[in-house]
Structure 1
Amino acid sequence: MSASKPLRTTLIGVVLAATALIPLQGTAFAGQSVAADSATAPVSSVAGIEDATARSLAAALADPAWARQLRIAALGADSVDLRELTSGSATSGGKRLASEVAAADRGVAAAKGLSDRVGSLLRIGLADASMKASLAGGTAPLVAAAPSDDDASAFTAYDSKGAAHELSVGSVPDRPVYLIDVDGAKAVTEGLKVVNEALVAKGLDVPAPAAEVSAAASLTATGIDTTLINSVRISDVKEPWFKGDAEIFTLVTGFGTDGKPRVDTVEMPYLNKADTTYYPNQVLVNWSNYKYDMADAVMMEDDGDTNYQALAKALVTALLTITDQGAYIPLADALLDAIPTSWWTDDPDYVDSWYTLAKATKGTRNGAAANGWMNVSPYHVAAL
């Protein structure tokens, strides 16, 4: 990424999931809480852990039995759980890797600010589907970590003898390449739990006070008003061949019913292709959470080294300095400014943002960064 901070428009996409009307955002997630203000600087970055794992796995391919097991797994699925594969292996190469992969998984979780509840995160698969024929034909594969720099012109892969090979990001190599990457869908789900827990702890994601709930009882009895995403499209950013699916999430922000800034997190597990229109029928804004008839939305993606504890801390720190002045003010810029400059490399990439969404907003709205659009409409969710 090379644009200025507010116009970072990198997108890789997300695994498509058939999503009808998802549960409304703003619900506290269950599970073990991770304090947002604990230490957030990991000893090793995700990229470093992945690279070390790639070198070890490449060396283990010297064991023919393990090489055969991995080849069968890679030909049978786009990617597989690396910890599950090694822990269940009967081969000497797989067994030797098992403890190292388990430790690498824990290291990745720590580097991303996630608790142990996340389980295994590392996955492995062929870097491109076109490599299946040569792998099946017996061509010796290389092993690489998923590159974390979108601006890099090359990255490193390893063979079973420990030799490093420089691969171009501009073209698919003739030789098959196993790519080690993080399970982005699982990381986003668990990461947004961390963010929500931090917001709840600081009172930035709380239900309306009892008095207000009582005053709005007649409205609540009939249901709630929401804004629905009918369709959404993100521009083509011409990602390099090795980039697989990443995960999109949106931060919806405004003033809560208690007058404090509020952030609701929205997973968007369907934007898996750029320059493609999707029709999710997904709730974006639950207006019962907000004091004013305005909210902002900032769309981002987890692109590797995202540390959710650090993200949560940055959001909380920024929002706690903002007070309700009796009128709506945009909070999207406050969210973007809260994110450290170093994160605008290949971390939680800024995709686009939508300002001043109102309860009555209807039709197609272009994003402020001109990297996408959403078609939205009011949607009343009736009470049971």
Structure 2
Amino acid sequence: MRTAALRATVVALALVTTTVAAPQVTAKTNSVPAITDSLAKAISLELTGKATRDTLARIATVDATDPAELATTASLTRSVAQANADLLVAKGLPAGSARLARIRLGHDSMARSLREGAEPVVAAAPNDDNAREFTGYFPGGKPLTLSTGTIPTRPVVFAEVDVTTAVRLGTEMIQRQTGKPVVTEAGGYRATQVTSIRFGNVQEPWFKGDAEIFAITGGFDHNGDVRADTLTLPYLDDENTTYYPNQIVLHWNRYKYSAADIVFMEDDGDTNYLNLAKALVAALAYILDSGVYVPLVNAILDAMPGSWWTDDPDFVDACYTITRDTNATLTCAGGNGTVGVRPFWVNER
């Protein structure tokens, strides 16, 4: 999440733009936390049955699993289907585009006790990284308060969103809203490739599982209009770990100037991509090309509704003014990210 110091660093960097009110997420009762909590309770109600308990012990791992595999009753099948439909609405994604509901064992240390018959607790993964406690449900639906400070010895199964799929679909939606035509060069085009990337903090405590990082790039297109592009970084799961993806992140045939910015975000599960796309379009539409390149990080950050900074999407870091010829290892503005980049030629064939 953005600290005051990090926000001050970002604000101190020059940008002239117009503040635009961004749309707010409204449906509290249909929020991701409410939907996953409802699913967790529905699962717990079915765990009084031996068949469902045995199935849970067999399929629950730290890797997310479709709860449809657990739906051994008609009632739970309906609950899972309803959760999937509601999650797509909450995430601002098209109806029927994916099954987003998932269940996951809280920690691999819980697997043995679950297989040996220990009574599990089912809970929605806390949406706030700084939460001190969360509510789980015993088989039969009786609530239990658990602390986030330590990993429980009791097996905890989390109901959550398949954020990997949501990020992919969501960034595609943003791209459709904000992307614009490109200018091609003979034989190919110039790009920038990430050779290494590392973050000191990816904003994910133990109860959240792996991070789901995505990036928004900003620059001016050939007509002098601001364009925002998106990309996913599905490999970037852990903090203080260096990855070597050789991923292309900037396509210079899309930009008028030989400079662009990258903002790295982490989706905790509650991001509404439709609202994010609309907010970006509204904020960036009012930035005019003055004949020289200006950083666009602030405009991208200001497009986020203020309430989203409480937890999702988490601001991870931002790298300003990466040029077409940059060949270096860069420390991003907040000091959290280190990114190695180099020029790359993309052949036409």
Is this a same-fold pair by TM over 0.5?
Answer: yes
TM-fit CA distance, 1:240: 2.9
Match of 1:326 among 274, 291, 295: 291
Q: Equivalents in 2 of 1:325, 1:2: separation in Å? A: 29
Partner of 2:181: 207
Q: 2:26 aligns with which of 41, 47, 60?
A: 41
Match of 2:147 among 151, 156, 168: 168
Query: Which consecutive residues of structure 1, in runs of 5 or more, have no partner in the other structure?
Result: 9-36, 200-204
User: What SS is found at the alignment partner of 2:167?
Assistant: helix
Q: What is the CA distance between 1:237 and its match in structure 2?
A: 5.9
Q: Which among 25, 41, 52 is matched to residue 38 of structure 2?
A: 52
Q: How does 1:14-93 map to 2 (within 5 A)?
A: 41-42=26-27, 43-74=29-60, 78-86=63-71, 89=72
Q: Deviations over 1:60-89 (max 9, x none)?
A: 1011111111211115x7221113542xx3
Asked if the contact 2:66/2:103 (under 8 Å) is kept, the reply is yes
Letter aligned with residue 53 of structure 1: L
1:131 matched to 2:110? yes
Q: Deviations over 1:299-320 (max 9, x none)?
A: 1011111000110111011001
Correspondence for 1:4? 4
Structure 1 position 197 matched with structure 2 position 197: no
Which structure 2 residues correspond to residues 179-328 of structure 1 after superposition, within 5 A?
179-199=158-178, 205-208=179-182, 213=183, 220-236=185-201, 239-328=204-293
Give CA deviations for 1:173-213 in whole Å, capped at 9, x if unaligned: 111111111111100011112212222xxxxx2214xxxx5
Alignment partners' CA distance in 1, 2:174 and 2:26: 17
**What amino acid is the match of 1:55?**
K
Larger RCO (alpha carbons 8 Å, 6+ apart): 1
Distance apart, 1:40 and its partner CA = 5.3
Q: TM-score, normalised by structure 1?
A: 0.83
**Shift in Å, 1:222:** 2.5
Taking the aligned partners of 2:70 and 2:81, their CA distance within structure 1 comes to 11
1:154 to 130, 133, 145: 133
2-structure distance, mates of 1:238, 1:337: 20
**Equivalent residue number for residue 371 of structure 1:** 336
Gaps of 5+ in 2: 9-21
What is the Cα-based RMSD across aligned positions, in Å?
A: 2.0
SS in structure 2 opposite 1:305? coil
C-alpha contact (below 8 Å) 2:64/2:103 kept by paired residues = yes
Contact 1:40–1:113 (CA under 8 A) maintained in structure 2: no
Q: After superposition, what is the alpha-carbon deviation per residue over 1:143-164, rounded to whole angstroms, capped at 9, x for unaligned?
A: 0111101111111111013221
Q: Which amino acid aligns with 2:139?
A: S
CA contact (8 A) 2:216 2:264 kept: yes
Distance 1:166 1:339 in 2: 32
- Looking at structure 2, the residues matched to 2 and 255 of structure 1 have their Cα atoms a distance apart, in angstroms, of 26
Match of 1:309, SS?
helix
Helix, strand or coil at the partner of 1:277: coil
Flag the 1:236–1:163 CA change in 2: closer, same or farther, 3 A.
same
TM-score by length of 2: 0.91
- Distance in 1, matches of 2:332 and 2:260, equals 14
SS at 2:208 equivalent: coil
* Structure 1: distance between partners of 2:202 and 2:233: 18
Match of 2:17 in 1: none
- Which amino acid counterpart does residue 49 of structure 2 have in structure 1? D
* Aligned-residue identity in percent: 44
**Residue 65 and residue 240 in structure 1: after superposition, are their counterparts in 2 closer, same or farther (change >3 A)?**
same
Asked if 1:120 corresponds to 2:99, the answer is yes
Q: Distance in 1 between matches of 2:230 and 2:52?
A: 41
The 1:40–1:114 alpha-carbon spacing in structure 2 relative to 1, beyond 3 Å, is: farther
The residue type equivalent to 1:206 in the other structure is K
SS of the residue corresponding to residue 346 of structure 2 reads: strand
Residues 1:39 and 1:240: Cα distance change in structure 2 (over 3 Å): closer
What SS does the aligned partner of 2:160 have? strand
Which one-letter code corresponds to 1:207 in the other structure? P
Shift in Å, 1:125: 2.1
Q: Distance in 2 between matches of 1:84 and 1:125?
A: 12
